[in-house]
Amino acid sequence: MVVNPAGAGAVNTTSGYSVKSGWYTPNIGGQLIAIPAPGWSFAKWVGSGSGSYTGTLQMPTIYLNGPVNETVYFDAGITVSVSGLNAPGTAVIIDGLNYSLYQLPRTFYLSPGSTMDFTFISPIAAGGGTRFVWTSTAGISDERSGSVTVSSPGSLTGKYEIQYSVTFQSYPANGSFVYTNFGSGLTPFTIWEPSGSVVTYLFNSSFSGGHGIRYIGPDPLNGSLTVTGQSTITANYSTTQYYLTTYVNGSTSDGSVSPSSGWYDAGSSVIVRATGGTGHCFWGWTTGSMDNPTTVIMSGPESLGANFLTEGELWYGALDYGSSYPVHSTASLSGPVTVQDIQSGGSTWLPPGWYYITYGMDSLGERAYSATTSLYVSSGGNVTDMAIYNTPTRLSAGFTVGVGTYTISGYLRTADNGMALGGQTVNVTFSTDGGQSWHIAGSVTTNSAGYYSYTVNDPYGSEGITNSNASFSGNNGYLGCSSPMVGN
């Protein structure tokens, strides 16, 4: 009779007599009972010889028909439990199976030499800013997770502590960096600590709220907290600021802008001034404003660039509408009107409306710039002898009209960026005898939008005005930084 492992239990008869190895009277039988020692559990019998028993009955009957060998096997019990835990859900995993707090303690019986895998779950959420975390393991292992080889009865206890959340926020937006003695991160940032812990913290004095936005002045900036439960700490940033970008739209040698780019409080007013460099004139802001200085209201991130022109000759474009030329000129005519193609000598009847005429040769037989020009006729008729001149300082068109009036009007703008040329003088000239001599009929000054309009009275009809000329002055087409339309 063998007990395996030794000391794991004993064998008795049902009448209470201990059964051990020895000599017994042949041809008798009896019922045995396997009695495990504390912490052990009966597993099985393995017998040999006539009348022996092999199986899992804890109280088998054997017969001594000859020599008999019997070995009783016992399994060791491992009791698994937790302490300090008060939360639902899985607390521990044993050999791939989940067990909750309410299923523990539980004893698992294993044959000596076998292994048991275990994992104590951590953290375990309990709701309301509370959780439980594993702190240590007592018994046959000190690990939170692992595998143990069983040799004798034992225990495995996972120990837990309760922790509370401490959450750091920032207002009016999250994204500030906060430093604590238990870790650091961007708001919203949460740490978990047990009751009684002292948390110290420090918020950044400013942080970015996205492109061109930042927040400054947190309240509180720093402090400490003794943990007694779930807590939230909010840093209220008192000031929102926006970034103002100021720049020269072009080469930095053209001029300068002050103040330079920087941060300003939301809602504040910033006065920005542009100053032309040597030989350069301020020519408006990228927003379209010509005011200098100008005021920027900081309702969000702002960008403002200053345009500058080089002091010197201005090139004005041809009389044109809707093309690359920047000057728009209209003609209002009365009386009989005809139009003639200079090259063919033909004539055409024109009802009122806009007409686009391409010029190749001027009235003197010289080649002018080939350009499509727009002309507006306010009353029907025949227009004859059309010509156009295109020079840096003069725009002209020639035609013959009947008795009545001729009005020339339009907009003066720069050829490079279309800025309005305000405060410029438009001289209207005409001749009374086939263009042999010019006479100044009058002049008019362009308004702030660059618009001009002048009406010429023609008392001679078709033999009268043969050419009408608009020459644009301003130091003979010279842009000086003291000119009326310059914003310096």
Per-residue pLDDT, 443: 74
CA distance linking residue 192 with residue 201, whole number of Å: 14
CB atoms within 10 A of CB 463: 13
Give the pLDDT band (50/70/90) at residue 114. Answer: very high
pLDDT, tens only, 283-335:
789 888 888 999 999 999 999 999 887 765 343 332 222 222 223 333 333 33
Q: Ranked by mean pLDDT, which of 224-228, 448-452, 473-477 comes out on top?
A: 224-228
Give the pLDDT band (50/70/90) at residue 479. Answer: very low
* Residues ≥6 apart with Cβ < 8 Å to 196: 226, 227, 228
Query: Average of pLDDT values for 73-89?
Result: 96
In Å, what is the CA distance from 447 to each residue of 412, 423, 484?
10, 6, 11
Between these two residues, 92 and 408, which has the higher pLDDT value? Answer: 92
Give the pLDDT band (50/70/90) at residue 282. Answer: confident
Sign of CA dihedral 455, 457, 461, 463: negative
Token pair 């702190």 in the structure block, residue: 135
Between these two residues, 307 and 92, which has the higher pLDDT value? Answer: 92
For residue 191, the cross-strand partners are 166
Per-residue pLDDT, 330: 34
CA distance linking residue 141 with residue 35, whole number of Å: 29
Per-residue pLDDT, 265: 96
Q: Are strands 69-83 and 154-171 parallel, antiparallel or unpaired?
A: parallel
Between these two residues, 24 and 197, which has the higher pLDDT value? Answer: 197
Render the burial of 202-226: b for 16+ CB within 10 Å, e for the rest.
bbbebbebeebbbbeebeeeeeeee
Say if residue 216's pLDDT is above 90.
Answer: yes
Query: Average of pLDDT values for 204-231?
Result: 95
* 368 within 8 A of 388, measured Cβ to Cβ: yes
For residue 323, give both structure tokens: 């093309």
Share of the chain above pLDDT 70, in %: 65
CB atoms within 10 A of CB 383: 23
Query: Average of pLDDT values for 17-46?
Result: 88
pLDDT, tens only, 157-203:
999 999 999 999 999 999 999 999 999 999 999 999 999 999 999 99
CA distance linking residue 415 with residue 2, whole number of Å: 115
Of 114, 31, 108, 42, the C-alpha closest to 75 is 42
Say if residue 258's pLDDT is above 90.
Answer: yes
Residue 326's H or E segment, with its range, is none
Give the pLDDT band (50/70/90) at residue 11. Answer: very high
Say if residue 134's pLDDT is above 90.
Answer: yes
Per-residue pLDDT, 360: 33
Between these two residues, 291 and 46, which has the higher pLDDT value? Answer: 46
Residues for the chain: how many in total?
Answer: 488
Query: Average of pLDDT values for 386-396?
Result: 32
Give the pLDDT band (50/70/90) at residue 362. Answer: very low
CA distance linking residue 339 with residue 108, whole number of Å: 114
Between these two residues, 451 and 217, which has the higher pLDDT value? Answer: 217
Q: State whether residue 463 is helix, strand or coil.
A: helix
CA distance linking residue 354 with residue 46, whole number of Å: 119
Measure the CA angle with vertex 342, ends 339 and 344; round to 5°: 95
Say if residue 394's pLDDT is above 50.
Answer: no
Per-residue pLDDT, 227: 97
Q: Helices then strands (H, E): number in the chain?
A: 0, 43
Please, is 277 exposed, middle or buried when counting C-beta atoms within 10 Å of its C-beta (0-12, 13-18, 19+)? middle
Say if residue 107's pLDDT is above 80.
Answer: yes
Give the pLDDT band (50/70/90) at residue 484. Answer: very low
Per-residue pLDDT, 30: 83
Of 23-27, 275-279, 399-403, the least confident: 399-403
pLDDT, tens only, 234-248:
999 999 999 999 999
Q: Are strands 478-479 and 312-313 parallel, antiparallel or unpaired?
A: antiparallel
Of 426, 390, 428, the C-alpha closest to 411 is 426
Per-residue pLDDT, 185: 97
Give the pLDDT band (50/70/90) at residue 38. Answer: very high
* 164 within 8 A of 134, measured Cβ to Cβ: no
CA distance linking residue 339 with residue 354, whole number of Å: 13
Residue 111's H or E segment, with its range, is none
Between these two residues, 75 and 335, which has the higher pLDDT value? Answer: 75
Give the pLDDT band (50/70/90) at residue 407. Answer: low
For residue 322, give both structure tokens: 């809707």
Give the pLDDT band (50/70/90) at residue 27. Answer: confident
CA distance linking residue 331 with residue 470, whole number of Å: 12
Say if residue 226's pLDDT is above 50.
Answer: yes
Mean pLDDT of the chain: 75
Of 200-204, 277-281, 298-302, 354-358, the least confident: 354-358
Per-residue pLDDT, 332: 34
Q: State whether residue 140 is helix, strand or coil.
A: coil
Of 380, 414, 375, 379, the C-alpha closest to 398 is 375
CATH topology for 328-479 is Immunoglobulin-like (2.60.40)
